[in-house]
Structure formats: structure tokens, C-alpha cells
């Protein structure tokens, strides 16, 4: 087969390059293959496969890969964002000279969109900051002029854009309106007397935000605003709203680089990624924009001072841009608080419940550490459970940080909001002191002989019953089911081990090691390990709940620990892949559990702030996102 020899030696190099990353010490033998089916071999022509993946033509992608060998494209690490941006400006200028532009200045029919995409594709392998700077300028900025601007504007500005002599940016997003173009608040009012548009930022949330290349690089900006046309005869009549329109506005002086009159420019600050592009913030203080600088191909004020639209009065259909909006929002209407969305509650509150569960598990394992462990069984329990908790806790930490980051949108990426930095700093935990995946296998190895097949109860205990809500919410039911899950998964793992040993014996290699077998059945091993750990966590949580109920004066209603324990356990029953897979409960019971989760989320929502604040993280260690994020983004705040 073509390329197979060279592929093999390359493969060996590649595989060798990974060999010291995991703690993998068990000797291997051929019986690890015993479970494999007799699938036909694979018929692989490497070159033909490349052609298939490439599709019709990837000439420009490959060409750009070659260009990236130029010394300007040596990787830089450990540099400031200003250094990265300066270097990416140099790179973009260099690229502009290479003459591969998607011919913005040529007749439209010649534009090769596929070429542009290939270029962007190749650049993104190198540095997403560079591909963003390149795409914002040559795609969004230049493309807007080309698609929406008059011929005069195109003739003047596109050559300056093609050469990157006059970098531009694309100002749509606002602080208060991330992905909802129709909701933007920046205003453009036609001034009949002056014969120009007046562009204005009415408030802090209307500032243009995350504008790629606006902070340092761009001189021009395509600015999107809500257009208002005054009544032709009656000045007391409210102006007519024409929807969003784009305007070409100089934001910096070409020689001095200082912001144009009425324009305020700030940096979005340090981010947890993409620091290779300078995201900026823009304010417009009644900036006058000449009539011809409106990108008015589909609508604008004509030479007679009358508004004309390609779409007639149906301005809401105006651009494909608006297709990403998610509701029939009117300008000025109050948006819903995000935390009132069930979707948002579902993505965050179960993680909080799990944090409670794992918090008490951490306390319990610390107590076990401090206990005199003369009992060997206790010592073993400590070693096994602490190894396993290391995996579950660090993954939970990373999952929670990621969910939080996404729930905060772009604000979650700002260094000052700390989530991105925490993610980056905590990432190591998933592999240090042992790879998390491997740790779970060691837990399985350490525990499997404690659970003999004979001790497994029958499934019928659960599947045939229809439980009441109060049963489903009870500690006893939840703990019983978690316990049953241990026994059932131990049973399956034992069966797999026995099968592997029997097969090995039949193949004349009876000395197959347990490490080897557990690796072969890694999914079953990890399922069993998780079952042991989740049961341990839940039982410690319930112990703490019982203890606190006994020591505090009880009142009517559910205690917060009970609420968190109920949500934690039912969420696992609803969402844990292995629990679902094993079908311990009838489908109507599973449905009921999901509905109960919905009710519990509602109860959490009613109490969310004290439930979070109880962890006692002081205000000075929280980012602006946890406080007044609008105030943190006013124009006269410091760049952060």
C-alpha cells in the first residue's frame, strides 16, 4: 500500500513521543486483543485519503502553509499582548504584499470565496489572533464596503484596504448585546439641516465591544447603528425608525493615530486567549457622518434627503445578519435576566449541587487522613478513595470553570474576570499526581475484589417499581440505588475479567496481568470506579446532612443541604451515562426524576445567592462580572 513504510516509521516516532506522559507500567502481551472482533482489515491509500479530505482544491491552503515558514511567523510566547498585536500587524502587512488578496477591488464575479476560506483556514492553524485580525479586516470590514458601499466608496477605500495601508474594523457587537444585532442601541439620526448622519452612543451598554483590531490597529470602522429619520414636516413627530444600517467612519487620524473628534477608543484588556488581536471598545459622541459614507446599497438617505430602502418599509428583513437573533425584540424593551432562564439554571445549578457534595467529600477524606489508620482496611480505603476523588474533583473543577465561562459569554474571557486564568492555571490538575483516567483504573483495581459476584442483589429490586416522589427524594432510596450500581458494575467487571482470563488461558498465555485486563475493559473499569466513588460521596453528604439536621433547630421546609443533596443525586440519576445505560429504573420513573430535577432547580434559584455566598469567597477575590459589570466598563474606567 502506498506510503505505508514511511508512515510506519513516522508512526513509530509519533507514538514514541507520547511514551512518557502517562504512568503506564504494566507489561503488555498479545492477549489484550482477544476481545477484538474479526473485522476486515482496512484498505488505506494515504494519498487518496488526503484527496478525499481536501475536496476539490486546497491549493491556497497549502500555499499559505508554505508562506508560514517565513521568519515573521516564528512562534512567540511569554510576550505582552501589545507585542503580539504589533507582530500580527507586521504579519498582516507582509501577507498583504503577497498578492493573493481575494480581489476585493476586482469585479464581483471574480471573488473567490473558497480561496479566502482556505487562507483563513491555514492562518488559524498558525494563530487564531492573526486569522481574526486578517478576517476582520479583509473579510468583515472590506467585505462590508464591497457588498454594501457605493462604487465611489469602494474605489476610494478598497485599494487602501487591500494593501493594509488603512486597516479597518467592523463595529457591530455592543457590551449589552452580544449576538443580537437587532438589539443594538447605537443611534444614527439623519440631520436634515446639516445634511449628514449623527452617530451617537446613548449609554454604557451601547458601547461597541470586542471590536477586533479597534484598540490599536484600525483607522476606519464600519459602524452599525439604528437609523432614525425625522418626520419631513412635523418636528414634534417622533422620528421614524428604519432598522440597523452601517456607516464608514474614520476612528483615528491617519497621521497622528489619535482618535477622531467625538470618538473614544479603549482596549478590552487582557484576555485568557486571542491576545494576538486587539479587541477594542468604541463610543461615538454625536459624530457627524457625511451622507455618502453610509453603506447604503440596501437603504439610506438619497441626494434629495429622502430615505429610500431596497426592501421598502420592511426593514427588519434587511440583512442576513439578523438571522441569528432569537426573539422578537423591540428596541428599548427590557431583556430578561439571564438567570431566569431554565436553560441557564440547568447549566449551572447542578454543578453547584455537585460542588456541595464534593466539598463535604473533601472534608471527609481530610478527616480520614488525620485518623490513626492502624486498620489496614482503613488505610487502603484512604488511598483508594483519595486517588479517585482527585480525578472527580479536578474534572469537576474544570467542567465548572468551563460552564461558568460559557455562561458569562465573552466577559468570561476577560482576565479581570479571572475565570479564564483559573481555567488555565487549574488545567494541570487533570494529569498531575497521576492522569485522571488512569487514576480511575487504579481505583477499580483497588476495589474490585471487595465486591464479590455473590453479593449482587437482583435488578428487580428497582426496575419493576413505581416510586413516589418522596421516595425518589429520600436519602435511603438514593443511597440504595447508588449501592446497587456498585454491585451491578462490579458484577459486569468480574464477568469481563473472567472471560479475559479464560480466553488468555485458551490462547496459552494464562499469566495475563490484571492491569492489562482492566485496560482492555477500561470503560467497565471506570464505570465501576465511578460507582464506588459516587456512592462514597453521596453517603458522606447524607451523613453531613443528618448531622446538621440533628444539631440545628428544625423548622418547616427543606434544609439547604437536603436540597443540594436531592439535586445532586437526582441529577446523577437523570444524567449519569452509566446509570442511564443500566436501566435500573423504568422509563416513567426516569421521567418523574427529570421533572423533580426541574422543581429542585426552581428551589435553588429562589435561594441562589446565599447558597453561593456560603462558600465565603471574599469580594476582593471576585472579578467585576460578579459585581457591577456595567460600571466596570464605563469609558473613563481604566483599561483592564
CA 138 centroid distance within chain: 26
Closest CB to a second copy among 45 and 231? 45
**18 lies in the binding site for a second copy (CB under 8 A):** yes
Rounded to whole angstroms, how far apart are CA atoms 151 and 292? 11
Is there binding between residue 614 and a second copy (CB under 8 A)?
yes
Q: Which of residues 36-55 bind a second copy (CB under 8 A)?
A: 36-46, 48-50, 52-55
What is the smallest separation between the CB atom of 251 and a second copy, expressed in angstroms?
22
Tell me the residue length of the chain: 640
- Decide: is 325 part of the binding site for a second copy (CB under 8 A): yes
* Residue 613 interacting with a second copy (CB under 8 A): yes
CA distances from 511 to 31, 448, 497, 501, 525 (A): 10, 19, 13, 8, 20
* The three-state (H, E, C) secondary structure of 479-522, written as one string: HHHHHHHHHHHHHHHHHHHHHHHHHHHHCCCCCCCHHHHHHHCH
What whole-number distance in Å separates Cα of residue 384 and Cα of residue 528?
13
Q: Does 274 bind a second copy (CB under 8 A)?
A: yes
Residue 204 makes CB contacts below 8 A (sequence gap 6+) with: 175, 630, 631, 633, 634, 635
Rank residues 127 and 162 by Cβ distance to a second copy and give the closer one.
127
Size, binding site for a second copy by CB under 8 A = 196
* Choice from 317, 471, 607, 637 touching a second copy (CB under 8 A): 607
Identify residues 518-537 at the interface with a second copy (CB under 8 A).
519-520, 522-523
The CB-of-79 to a second copy minimum distance in angstroms stands at 7
Q: Which is nearer to a second copy, 33 or 194 (CB)?
A: 33
Contact set for a second copy, span 453-472 (CB under 8 A): 469
d(CA 463, CA 461): 6
Choose, by CB under 8 A, the member of 163, 317, 449, 595 that binds a second copy.
595
Q: Closest Cα partner for 276 from 95, 417, 91, 409?
A: 91
- Cα–Cα nearest to 170, from 104, 217, 94, 224: 224
CA 278 and chain centroid, separation = 20
- Closer to a second copy at the Cβ: 306 or 543? 543
- Residue nearer to a second copy on the CB measure, 175 or 294: 175
**Piece in contact with a second copy (CB under 8 A), picked from 136-144, 155-163, 244-252, 516-524:** 516-524
- Give residues with Cβ within 8 angstroms of 89, minimum separation 6: 133, 167, 216, 217
Positions at the binding site: 173, 212
Question: Is-catalytic flag, 433?
Answer: yes
Q: How far is the CB of 261 from a second copy (least distance, A)?
A: 29
Is 258 a binder of a second copy (CB under 8 A)?
no
Distance, in Å, from the CA atom of 391 to the CA atom of 358, rounded to the nearest integer, reads: 12
> Which distant-in-sequence residues (6+ apart) come within 8 Å of 288 by Cβ?
191, 194, 196, 197, 198, 262
Using the rule CB under 8 A, is 449 a contact of a second copy? no
**543 lines the binding site for a second copy (CB under 8 A):** no
Q: Are 467 and 516 in contact (CB under 8 A)?
A: no
Is residue 598 part of the contact set for a second copy (CB under 8 A)? yes
Q: Which of 33, 433, 540, 587 is catalytic?
A: 433
Of the candidates 92, 83, 178, the residue with the CA atom closest to the CA atom of residue 135: 92
CB of 43 to a second copy, least distance (A): 4
Binder among 203, 228, 259, 427 for a second copy (CB under 8 A): 427
| Residue 557 binding a second copy, by CB under 8 A | yes
Q: How far is the CB of 10 from a second copy (least distance, A)?
A: 6
Buried-exposed string 500-512: b where 16+ CB fall within 10 A, e elsewhere: bbeebeeeeeeeb
| Binding flag, residue 147, a second copy (CB under 8 A) | no
Question: If you compute the radius of gyration of the chain from its CA atoms, what whole number of angstroms results?
Answer: 31
- 186 to 225, contacts with a second copy by CB under 8 A? 205, 210
Using the minimum distance from each CB to a second copy, give the nearer residue, 94 or 383: 383
Measure the CA angle with vertex 554, ends 551 and 558; round to 5°: 115
* Residues of span 59-118 touching a second copy by CB under 8 A: 61-62, 65, 68-69, 75, 77-82, 113-114, 117
Question: Is the separation of the CB atoms in 195 and 291 below 8 Å?
Answer: yes
CB of 622 to a second copy, least distance (A): 9
Map residues 385-424 to x or -, x wherever contact with a second copy holds by CB under 8 A: --x----------x---x--xxxxxxxxx-xx-x-xxxxx
Stretch that binds a second copy, among 145-153, 169-177, 238-246, 533-541 (CB under 8 A): 169-177
483 binding a second copy? (CB under 8 A) = no
User: Which residue bears the cell 480525578?
Assistant: 391
Task: Decide: is 306 part of the binding site for a second copy (CB under 8 A).
Answer: no
Q: Pick out the residues of the known binding site for FAD.
A: 173, 212
Residue list 327-346, contact with a second copy (CB under 8 A): 327-329, 333, 335-344, 346
Active site (catalytic) residues: 433
Amino acid at each position: 500500500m502506498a506510503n505505508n513504510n514511511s508512515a510506519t516509521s513516522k508512526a513509530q516516532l509519533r507514538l514514541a513521543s507520547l511514551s512518557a506522559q502517562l504512568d503506564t507500567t504494566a507489561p503488555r502481551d498479545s492477549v489484550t486483543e482477544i476481545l477484538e472482533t474479526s473485522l476486515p482489515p482496512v484498505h488505506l491509500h494515504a494519498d487518496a485519503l488526503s484527496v478525499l479530505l481536501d475536496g476539490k482544491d486546497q491549493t491556497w491552503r497549502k500555499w499559505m502553509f508554505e508562506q508560514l515558514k517565513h521568519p515573521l511567523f516564528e512562534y512567540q510566547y511569554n510576550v505582552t499582548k501589545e507585542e503580539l498585536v504589533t507582530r500580527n500587524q507586521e504579519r498582516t502587512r507582509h501577507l498583504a504584499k503577497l498578492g493573493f488578496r481575494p480581489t476585493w477591488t476586482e469585479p464581483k464575479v471574480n471573488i473567490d470565496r473558497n480561496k479566502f476560506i482556505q487562507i483563513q483556514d491555514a492562518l488559524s492553524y498558525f494563530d487564531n489572533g492573526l486569522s481574526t485580525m486578517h478576517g476582520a479586516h479583509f473579510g468583515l470590514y472590506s467585505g462590508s464596503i464591497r457588498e454594501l458601499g457605493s462604487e465611489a466608496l469602494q474605489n476610494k477605500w478598497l485599494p487602501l484596504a487591500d494593501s493594509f495601508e488603512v486597516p479597518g474594523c467592523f463595529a457591530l457587537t455592543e457590551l449589552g448585546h452580544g449576538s443580537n444585532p437587532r438589539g443594538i442601541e447605537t443611534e444614527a439620526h439623519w440631520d436634515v439641516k446639516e445634511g449628514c448622519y449623527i452617530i451617537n452612543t446613548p449609554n454604557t451598554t451601547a458601547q461597541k465591544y470586542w471590536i477586533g483590531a479597534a484598540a490599536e490597529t484600525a483607522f476606519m470602522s464600519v459602524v452599525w447603528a439604528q437609523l432614525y429619520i425625522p418626520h419631513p414636516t412635523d418636528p414634534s413627530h417622533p422620528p421614524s425608525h428604519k432598522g440597523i444600517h452601517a456607516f464608514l467612519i474614520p476612528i483615528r487620524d491617519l497621521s497622528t493615530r489619535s482618535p477622531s473628534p467625538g470618538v473614544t477608543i479603549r482596549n478590552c484588556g487582557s484576555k485568557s486567549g486571542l491576545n494576538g488581536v486587539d479587541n477594542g471598545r468604541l463610543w461615538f459622541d454625536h459624530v457627524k457622518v457625511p451622507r455618502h459614507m453610509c453603506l447604503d446599497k440596501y437603504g439610506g438617505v438619497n441626494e434629495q434627503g429622502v430615505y429610500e430602502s431596497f426592501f421598502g418599509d420592511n426593514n427588519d428583513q434587511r440583512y442576513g445578519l439578523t438571522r441569528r437573533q432569537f426573539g422578537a425584540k423591540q428596541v428599548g424593551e427590557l431583556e430578561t435576566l439571564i438567570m431566569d432562564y431554565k436553560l441557564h439554571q440547568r447549566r449551572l445549578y447542578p454543578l453547584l449541587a455537585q460542588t456541595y457534595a464534593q466539598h463535604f467529600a473533601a472534608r471527609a477524606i481530610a478527616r480520614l487522613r488525620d485518623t490513626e489508620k492502624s486498620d489496614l482496611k482503613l488505610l487502603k480505603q484512604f488511598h483508594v478513595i483519595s486517588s479517585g476523588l482527585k480525578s472527580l474533583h479536578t474534572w469537576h473543577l474544570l467542567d465548572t470553570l468551563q460552564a461558568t465561562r460559557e455562561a458569562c459569554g465573552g466577559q468570561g474571557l476577560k482576565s479581570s474576570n479571572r475565570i479564564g486564568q483559573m481555567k488555565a492555571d487549574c488545567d494541570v490538575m487533570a494529569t498531575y499526581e497521576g492522569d485522571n483516567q488512569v487514576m480511575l483504573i487504579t481505583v477499580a483495581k483497588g476495589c474490585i475484589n471487595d465486591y464479590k459476584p455473590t453479593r449482587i442483589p437482583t435488578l428487580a429490586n428497582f426496575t419493576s417499581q413505581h416510586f413516589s416522589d418522596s421516595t425518589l427524594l429520600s436519602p435511603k432510596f438514593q443511597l440504595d440505588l447508588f449501592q446497587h450500581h456498585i454491585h451491578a458494575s462490579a458484577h459486569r467487571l468480574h464477568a469481563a475479567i473472567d472471560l479475559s482470563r479464560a480466553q488468555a488461558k485458551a490462547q496459552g498465555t494464562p499469566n495475563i496481568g490484571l492491569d492489562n485486563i482492566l485496560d482492555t475493559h477500561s470503560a467497565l473499569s471506570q464505570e465501576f470506579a465511578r460507582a464506588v466513588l459516587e456512592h462514597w460521596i453521596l453517603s458522606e453528604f447524607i451523613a453531613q446532612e443528618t448531622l446538621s439536621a440533628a444539631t440545628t433547630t428544625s423548622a418547616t421546609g427543606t434544609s439547604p443541604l437536603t436540597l443540594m443533596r436531592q439535586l445532586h443525586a437526582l441529577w446523577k440519576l437523570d444524567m449519569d451515562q452509566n446509570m442511564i445505560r443500566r436501566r435500573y429504573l423504568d422509563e416513567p420513573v426516569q421521567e418523574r426524576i427529570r421533572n423533580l430535577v426541574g422543581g429542585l432547580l426552581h428551589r435553588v434559584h429562589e435561594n441562589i445567592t446565599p447558597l453561593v455566598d456560603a462558600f465565603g469567597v471574599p469580594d476582593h477575590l471576585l472579578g467585576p462580572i460578579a459585581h457591577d459589570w456595567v460600571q466596570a466598563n464605563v469609558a473613563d474606567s481604566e483599561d483592564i
